[in-house]
Amino acid sequence: MSTVYKKSSVYRNTPMYKNYLGMYEPPISYDTTKMKRRVISSKYHRRPDLMAYDLYGDANYWWIFTLINRSSIKDPLFDFTEGKEIFIPDNLAMIGL
């Protein structure tokens, strides 16, 4: 029996091999020229889940910020700090969700 992941999960399109999850391979890059730049405010300091909830209505989309901003956010919690400027997709369709 295969596992079906939520639409918000990065594992949704990851292959399964004999009940083991395959390797997740994120896209090479995203077109950030069409995305908004935003400075992380004190409200969202180390709270990517809260920003995801406010922007997309679901806290489970916190991983999007790390995926889009791989060069500046290595650790999704400790690098998500006040004053850091990041790219944010206007809608989830921009990244294939």
Q: What is the rounded CA–CA span in Å between residue 94 and residue 82?
A: 25
Q: What pLDDT shows up at residue 96?
A: 75
What ranges make up the beta strands (E) of 1-97? 16-17, 20-21, 36-39, 85-88
Q: How many residues does the chain have?
A: 97
Q: What pLDDT shows up at residue 50?
A: 97
Q: What is the mean pLDDT of each run of 10 residues along the chain (97 residues)?
A: 72 79 73 91 97 95 92 92 95 81
Nearest alpha-carbon partner for 34 in 82, 83, 93, 74:
93
Q: What pLDDT shows up at residue 51?
A: 97
Q: What pLDDT shows up at residue 39?
A: 97
Q: What is the rounded CA–CA span in Å between residue 55 and residue 38?
A: 12
